[in-house]
Amino acid sequence: ATLGSSATDSRGVLDRTRLRELVKEVDQLEQMDDDVEDVLLQVADDFIENVVSSSCQLAKHRRSNTLEAKDVQLYLERCWNMQIPGFGSEEIRP
């Protein structure tokens, strides 16, 4: 079943085996219905759409035609309270 799929193709971006592994990581006893898997795939899809769209607007705002990691990082920090280290913009402290 496809829940209102977006214009861009998302099949093949995330496979179900990886998804199941992730859920097992969170809770070893978790049993997941196929429906729930579909919802999680949709959540991933919406998330990517949301983050990329907003980050592109930030890139445009600094008058660039290239989407950079710093655009994505800024959006993730501000709107999702998410910090992903290892992409060069943060200072490395000894």
Partner 1 sequence: GAQLRSCKDEVFLAASPLLRKITAIAKKYGVEEVNPAVVSLISHATQERLRDFASKLSIIAEHRVEIYKM
Give yes or no for residue 23 binding partner 1 (CB under 8 A): yes
Distances (CA, A) of 44 to 10, 64, 65, 76: 9, 27, 25, 14
Give yes or no for residue 63 binding partner 1 (CB under 8 A): no
Give yes or no for residue 25 binding partner 1 (CB under 8 A): yes
Among 1, 2, 63, 65, binds partner 1 (CB under 8 A): 65
Distances (CA, A) of 29 to 17, 21, 26, 33, 92: 16, 12, 9, 13, 38
In the complex, the residues that contact partner 1 under the rule CB under 8 A are 7-15, 18-19, 22-23, 25-27, 30, 36, 40, 43-44, 47-49, 51-53, 55-57, 59-60, 64-69, 71-73, 76, 80, 82, 84, 86-88, 92, 94
